[in-house]
Structure 1
Amino acid sequence: MSATGIESLAARRAGRPDANAPELAADERRERLHLFGLSLPALLVIGIVAFLPTAWLFWLSFIDEGSFSLAHYERMVREASYLRIFWSTFEISAVVTVIAILLGYPLAYLLSQLSERAASLLLILVLVPFWTSLLVRTYAWLVLLQRRGVINDWLQGLGLVDAPLRLVHNYTGTLIGMTHIMLPFLILPTYAALRTIDRDYLKAAASLGASPLRAFWTVFFPLSLPGLMAGALLVFVLCLGFYVTPALLGGGRVLLVSMKIQQNAGMYFEWGAASAMGVILLVATLGIFWGLGRLVSLDRVMGER
């Protein structure tokens, strides 16, 4: 700390007026300007890569036949097919998120209870799917789930079913494929949060007479919620814009917003309609972020009270 800073600190502790306050304020402003100058190139890159395309997307959504219009938004409100597509997108995203929580949280909890060496070895198995192309994994599920696929042959061989089950090109196949792809995105942040929880809290709960199950639900689980919510939100948002897996495993029978956007832009060359759907999806996603942020802040306020 500089001599001026030491003198200012001593003056504040003694309750005397700080004669160096204007100089310190000027130094703080200069430091902020220097930090802003250092971060300016990164801010420009973010603005060019992220904000300019988003602004162009907003502008294009209001253009119809060369003039400013709300026709694209009016059509989405008026036509029930668009509402069904948005409902299907959010429904599948929510279901996949719930399934990922039910499957991923127990696994993350198990990993958090192991030693660091054992947990690291098992985490490799969680990360293995990332080493394979998304398209390859989706086609692998297509081979496994089709009528003459491995799963149906196995079920019929055991005598569990008489006829092949319809596991692909429908809602079921889409859920299975999307859950498999998204599961690591929930396990990793949840495991990171569980690993940081101090086990002394559970010991304290046990010393006060709590059973292991009660200690888990009243102490451990609430502390793990931030990591679980982060993973669930990540899975849900990624599902909203998912395209490859629903398109292949859904077989055209499951139509999501991303697929409709591709149809409007690639097949019908209706860039305005595609942009309008993208804008609505973006606004809905930001609304979800805002709502969850409000919910978390409200929970914290209630907890403090």
Structure 2
Amino acid sequence: MVSVGSPRAAAAAPTPPAASRPRRVGRPLLLLALPAVVVLGVFFVVPALRLAWLSVSTPELGIGNYTGLATDGVVVTVVLRTLGMAAVVTVLCVLCAYPYAYLMTIVGPRWRAVLTALVLLPFWTSLMARTFAWVVLLQDTGVVNGLLAAVGLGPTRLLGTTAGVSVAMAQVMLPFMVLPVYAAMRGIDRRLVDAAMGLGARPVNAFLRVYLPLSLRGVAAGATLVMVLSLGFYVTPSLVGSPQQSMLAQLIAVQVNQLLNFGAAGALAVTLLVVTLVLVAGVQRLTRTGGAPAALVGGAGS
């Protein structure tokens, strides 16, 4: 009889298959990441550190720029407006992208190729051209107001308003939401939904309790990407919006180009970077612990 801790038992224990053992990356393979690391360090890390230094050294050494921003009502309003605008754009993208991505998973290959081409089409068009197109569409006599008037909801002012900026930004950000959600949905085994319905669940309940939680990681990835990009968006709010609806990126541009206040601009940039990092870290923690899917499953069953 062989004891559990004996060397013979250890030798007889089955070894894990090669696929399950973690692979160690050698130094030659790590060198493949060197160009990307160099580019990231030169064009992102160094400028970010430079901005951080300007924020505490200009015009004098200290945290006066940060305390000044915290007590400036205009800056606080712009920061809150930026966060609110990014949240609205993210919600609009989720509401539009989720059914579109789901449709891409259930149609045939030919229609899937067409839907994918429609998603990628904005990447083939200049951002400036798309933004100027929204300026034309959102005018008081534009196409959008004409459609609203035809259904009895207009005309109304859209150009230079928060609603107009939100719609234009959502159109720009929509592909960044569709692609991660579609990638997550492609990995879901639809037989799980069929099994739930086979066990007596209604189609709606099977979707809410099985399919939706499995796709939330893609939604979280897309929402994070859209939220981060929206926080620093400059072109569309500048052209479609108005000075009264300025966002944080526009305020930074004013501090640099007009006021030449590099210390305040650096403090604003660092604040934006910190908010972005906190947001990304929060989403990663939520998706890693599985809190969102678990909470949704519990809510769906109530």
TM-score > 0.5 by shorter chain: yes
Cα drift, residue 222 of structure 1: 0.5
- Relative to structure 1, the CA distance from residue 199 to residue 37 in structure 2 (aligned partners, 3 Å threshold; closer, same or farther) is closer
Gapped regions of structure 1 (runs ≥ 5): 1-9, 16-27
One-letter code of the match for 1:130?
A: F
- Give the whole-Å Cα distance in 1 for the aligned partners of 2:43 and 2:121: 30
13 and 48 in structure 1: CA distance in 2 versus 1, 3 angstrom threshold: farther
Bigger-Rg structure (1/2): 1
Superposed CA offset, 1:140-186 (max 9, x none): 11111111212324444x3726x731011111111111111111111
- CA pair 41-108 structure 1, distance change in 2 beyond 3 A: closer
Partner amino acid, structure 1, of 2:130: R
Check 1:41–1:98 CA distance in 2 against 1; reply closer, same or farther (3 A cut): closer
Letter in 1 for 2:211: F
Alignment partner of 2:272 out of 272, 281, 287? 281
Query: 274-283 or 107-116: which moved more?
Result: 107-116
Say what the alpha-carbon RMSD is for the aligned residues: 2.5
1:147 paired with 2:147, answer: no
Give the one of 61, 68, 71 matched to 1:68: 61
Relative to the length of structure 2, the TM-score reads 0.85
Matched letter for residue 171 of structure 1:
T
Q: Paired residues, what number? A: 278
Residue 152 of structure 2 corresponds to which residue in structure 1? 160
Q: Which amino acid is the alignment partner of residue 152 of structure 2? A: L
* 1:249 equivalent in alignment to 2:240: yes
Match of residue 117 from structure 2: 124
Unaligned regions of 5+ residues in structure 2, if any?
A: 1-7, 14-22, 295-302
Q: 1:159 to 1:198 in 2, by over 3 A?
A: closer
Which residue of the other structure, out of 75, 79, 82, is the alignment partner of 1:82?
75
Rounded to whole Å, the distance in 2 between the matches of 1:210 and 1:76 is: 54
Name 2:182's counterpart in structure 1.
191
CA distance in 2, matches of 1:198, 1:211: 18
2:86 matched residue in structure 1: 93
Structure 2 contact 214–293 (Cα < 8 Å) conserved: no
Aligned residue number for residue 53 of structure 2: 59
- Residue 196 of structure 2 is aligned with which of 189, 199, 205? 205
SS where residue 152 of structure 2 aligns?
Answer: coil
SS of structure 2 residue aligned to 1:253: helix
What letter matches 1:254 in structure 2? Q
User: What is the CA distance between 1:198 and its match in structure 2?
Assistant: 0.8
Question: CA 1:226–1:143 in structure 2 vs 1: closer, same or farther (change >3 Å)?
Answer: same
Q: Distance between the aligned counterparts of 1:301 and 1:91, measured in 2?
A: 21
Contact 1:247 1:254 in 2 (8 A): no
Structure 1 distance, partners of 2:134, 2:293, is 45
What does residue 16 of structure 2 align with?
A: none
- Report whether the alignment pairs 1:44 with 2:38: yes
- Whether the 8 Å CA contact 2:286–2:292 is kept in 1: the answer is no
Distance 1:292 1:155, change over 3 A: closer
Alpha-carbon distance between aligned partners in 2 of 1:302 and 1:111, rounded to the nearest angstrom: 22
What amino acid is the match of 2:42? I
3-state DSSP class of the match of 1:143? helix
| 1-structure distance, mates of 2:208, 2:147 | 39
Could you tell me which residue of structure 2 aligns to residue 229 of structure 1? 220
Specify which of 176, 186, 209 is matched with residue 167 of structure 2.
176
State the AA in 2 paired with 1:194: M
SS at match of 1:103: helix
Residues 220, 287 of structure 2: 8 Å contact kept: no
Normalised TM-score (structure 1) = 0.84
Give 3-state SS (helix, strand or coil) of 1:62's partner.
helix
Hey, what's the Cα distance between the residues in 1 that align with 2:292 and 2:114?
40
Residues 87-138 of structure 1: CA deviation (Å, up to 9, x unaligned)? 0000000011111111111111111111233211111112112211111111
